[in-house]
Structure 1
């Protein structure tokens, strides 16, 4: 049986996370001290060290929990949620929506760690989640390599890199498109590419 967390520990972690994100929205992580995090969280510095070795440990635990939650939401049930999904119906896959809904729910965290600070640990971990998401999606959509326009690993790297940068842009610009709109745009780009029809430009003299 999973051990239930002490409510006091949960409360302390919530206060520390809120304080961390608030401070990171103001300035770079490297400039923030444990003392400042503790003061913003209205706890003693000694209490901080009862829970975390340093501020990096706080960041890592927070990131791990948020991205594990994201991964379990969009990757694990991919095959099940795709059983009755028609990719040609013009609708966005529900897991694409879950990705952007999760970002909206944790907007301050994503902004602070991905845009305002671009924390390497967060970028790497998020990149790994997106990689697995794209991998499972492409493998479900087209398992036959002969129907792909490039080697599978090249396509996956291309799409996952695009996804990450579009997410950064979407957050940085205060989400100019709704979750459904941006999810639909990315799905269409992933499956169809940027053109509705192949451009027919001819060289001129």
Structure 2
């Protein structure tokens, strides 16, 4: 009996997540109501409230699960050298590509999102802390450089997702790392 209940809970949560993601493709989370979410999921409101406080709690859980999954994925790579940093960036792009639909929805191209802030924190932790230390950059400007680089990278990744990943993760990784390490002058002109 307990196993059956767990499956029902899993199913309910899965349907609610899918329904919310579908609704968020149509409008921002602030415009989504619990009523329409429950109608889309074919779940009654009392069932919804046994799982989540509101639609914002549900989207936060979706974001947190994606971030945890992303961190597990990135933890498998060492990134002490520039070559390993390229690999880290490529792996991040591969992960985004594997979850492109969800990431596009949560990154919300038209504005800032909590998911974008969470991805930014992951990027700071995984990529920049090591690079800034390795390059022995003046600590009084590290925060500015990090902000410039990470936010630029996030915007490039969002654009890449919204351009239907018109370049491979490897090509994008090379482009991003060239911007970071060589700036505009390091790019070849066609």
SS of residue paired to 1:17: helix
Structure 2 length normalisation: TM-score? Answer: 0.82
Consecutive unaligned residues in structure 1, runs of 5 or more? 198-205
Select which of 141, 145, 154 maps to 2:137.
145
Contact 1:130 1:163 in 2 (8 A): no
Q: For 1:1-205, what aligned pairs fall within 5 Å after superposition? A: 6-74=6-74, 76-78=75-77, 81-82=78-79, 87=83, 93-115=86-108, 118=111, 120-139=113-132, 142-145=134-137, 151-196=141-186
Structure with the largest fraction of helix: 2
- CA distance in 2 between counterparts of 1:162 and 1:86 reads 18
Larger Rg: 1
Deviations 1:145-173, CA, capped at 9 Å, x for gaps: 37x9x932222111111111111211222
Contact 1:113 1:122 in 2 (8 A): yes
Consecutive unaligned residues in structure 2, runs of 5 or more? none
Deviations 1:136-194, CA, capped at 9 Å, x for gaps: 34146x24237x9x932222111111111111211222222122211121112112222
Structure 1 length normalisation: TM-score? Answer: 0.77
| 1:99 Cα offset (Å) | 0.8
Contact 2:79 2:88 in 1 (8 A): no
Q: CA RMSD in A?
A: 2.6
